[in-house]
């Protein structure tokens, strides 16, 4: 019979939200256990594009309402952590690009006028030309306008690996989770038969949260899944590009980020409007053909003849919103010892941790568990989709 564990905070779900929170709590002296039933970061986090948004994209359609939105501060918080001087020491994590770019292929679209006037981007957007253009756009045939946004792009697998290191001995590979009740109050969880008692229990299980709540006999909070059909291209002629390409509408027509593959090639990972509703309805072959056509039109100087293609269907998991809109703050629901939430963006992992830590402070929860943890089976790191789909 495995031993009983007492910890301060028990977290379920080791994506960026659970891992970031876990590392912050440990730094503050709390004991923690973080349970994962698959791989570390392998849910949405390692499948994300790694853009540390400051909200510029959302200013395009007026959804960013100003100072109240936590997202505007996220690039600074990540930069400080990456420099080793912030709330966590993420020095050593790979930054893929110091900036993300906005790229308007033709003449300046009308919607950009209000965009540049908006408070969210004022003073944070510079036009770039010539040698300062992203490498993939440096061609004499390139006609569009490009703006540099103060938003960085991180290599998510290396973020997850570092956060896992900061998680120390508290990471637990566990499959079967049941509630641990006293009276009818939740006081912990039983993980693969082992009792884990905690002052607070946090569920950060991404798309798995609804099923986990059901297993625990709970029905709140409600969540939504927003399906995406992403496109992956890998080949020797691809050069780094981190950009939202604007179309006529309020959403980027295509968002390209570039990631290192294990074989030394670059991978273009493409989302944005192309991966949403119409993209979700397309078959993988149709989705690839659509992307090929878009790229041939936008970047005709790039030779795609040796490029390999794949698509990835993945859901974004969020609290239920009216009309499947996008939330711009992390979300945490509380009931008794239980907290349940979603960062809603990789970039917002610090905001998710703040919300949990603020709740602990408000309730006077302090580190009390002192027993060393037994040796726990550790979950493996999540692997990028291109290594699985285009090995
Ligand atoms: C294609 C795509 C691109 C994106 N691009 C960006 C971007 O560029 N910038 C940005 O800021 N955001 C982006 N996002 C959003 C971002 O990825 C997510 O908001 C963020 O990763 C969510 O983190 P999480 O820890 O809540 O969830 P996840 O990373 O999904 O982690 C949840 C974890 O919980 C585990 N789990 C589930 N059920 C259980 C259970 N019963 N027991 C134990 N463990 C369980 C899962 O295995 C998983 O590891 C993107 C999302 C997608 C899908």
DSSP state of 60: T
pLDDT averaged over the chain? 91
Rounded to an integer, the average pLDDT of 348-361 is 97
Closest-lying ligand 1 atom to the alpha carbon of residue 211: 41
pLDDT at 63 > cutoff 60? no
Cβ(390)–Cβ(230) below 8 Å: no
Tens digits of residue pLDDT in 124-171? 678 899 999 999 999 999 988 898 988 999 999 999 999 999 999 999
pLDDT of the residue at 251: 75
| Ligand 1 center to 129 CA (angstroms) | 35
Tens digits of residue pLDDT in 69-121? 688 889 999 999 999 999 999 999 999 999 999 888 875 555 565 566 555 56
Domain assignments of the chain as residue spans, ordered by start? 5-45+158-223+323-389, 97-152+225-317
Best probe residue, ligand 1, of 226, 345, 379 (max atoms within 8 Å of C-beta): 345
| Ligand 1 center to 260 CA (angstroms) | 20
Instruction: Return the structure tokens found at 81.
Output: 């952590």
Rounded to an integer, the average pLDDT of 30-54 is 97
Any idea what the Cα angle at residue 158 is, between residues 233 and 85, rounded to 5°? Answer: 135
List helix spans (H) across the chain.
16-27, 56-59, 74-82, 111-117, 156-166, 209-215, 277-281, 284-298, 349-362, 385-389
Rounded to an integer, the average pLDDT of 179-202 is 96
26-30, 123-127, 216-220, range with the lowest pLDDT: 123-127
Rounded to an integer, the average pLDDT of 164-189 is 96
Using a 6 Å CB cutoff, which residues line ligand 1?
12-18, 35-38, 41-45, 47-51, 53, 177, 204-208, 212, 228, 230, 271, 314, 316, 342-347
| Banded model confidence at residue 329, pLDDT cuts 50, 70, 90 | confident
Domain 5-45+158-223+323-389: CATH superfamily, name plus number: FAD/NAD(P)-binding domain (3.50.50.60)
Tokens 């973020």, residue? Answer: 159
Q: Which CATH class is domain 97-152+225-317?
A: alpha beta
Nearest CA-CA partner of 379 in 175, 192, 195, 176: 175
């Amino acid at each position: 019979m495995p031993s009983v564990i007492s910890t301060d905070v028990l977290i379920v779900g080791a994506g960026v939200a659970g891992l970031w929170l876990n590392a912050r709590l440990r730094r503050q002296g709390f004991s923690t256990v973080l349970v994962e039933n698959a791989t570390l970061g392998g849910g949405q986090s390692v499948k994300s594009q790694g853009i540390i948004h400051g909200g510029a994209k959302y200013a395009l359609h007026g959804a960013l309402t100003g100072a109240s939105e936590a997202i505007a501060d996220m690039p600074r918080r990540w930069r400080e952590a990456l420099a080793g001087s912030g709330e966590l020491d993420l020095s050593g994590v790979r930054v893929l690009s110091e900036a993300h770019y906005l790229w308007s292929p033709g003449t300046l679209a009308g919607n950009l006028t209000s965009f540049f006037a908006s408070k969210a981007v004022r003073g944070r957007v510079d036009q770039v030309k010539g040698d300062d253009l992203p490498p993939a756009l440096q061609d004499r045939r390139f006609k569009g306008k490009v703006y540099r946004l103060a938003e960085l792009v991180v290599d998510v697998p290396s973020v997850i690996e570092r956060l896992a290191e900061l998680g120390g001995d508290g990471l637990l590979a566990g499959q079967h989770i049941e509630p641990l009740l006293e009276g009818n109050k939740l006081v912990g969880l039983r993980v693969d038969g082992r009792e884990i008692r905690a002052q607070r229990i946090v569920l950060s299980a991404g798309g798995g949260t609804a099923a986990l709540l059901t297993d625990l006999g709970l029905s709140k909070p409600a969540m939504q899944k927003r399906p995406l059909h992403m496109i992956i291209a890998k080949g020797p002629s691809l050069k780094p590009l981190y950009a939202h390409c604007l179309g006529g509408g309020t959403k980027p027509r295509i968002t390209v980020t570039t990631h290192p593959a294990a074989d030394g090639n670059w991978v273009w990972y493409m989302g944005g409007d192309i991966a949403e509703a119409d993209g979700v309805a397309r078959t993988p072959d149709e989705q690839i053909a659509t992307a090929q056509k878009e790229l041939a039109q936008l970047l005709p100087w790039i030779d795609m003849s040796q490029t390999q293609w794949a698509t990835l269907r993945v859901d974004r998991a969020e609290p239920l919103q009216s009309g499947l809109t996008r939330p711009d703050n992390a979300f945490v629901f509380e009931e008794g010892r239980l907290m349940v939430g979603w960062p809603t963006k990789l970039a917002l992992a610090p905001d998710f941790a703040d919300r949990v830590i603020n709740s602990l402070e408000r309730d006077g929860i302090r580190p009390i568990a002192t027993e060393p943890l037994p040796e726990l089976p550790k979950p493996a790191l999540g692997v990028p989709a291109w290594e699985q789909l285009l090995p």
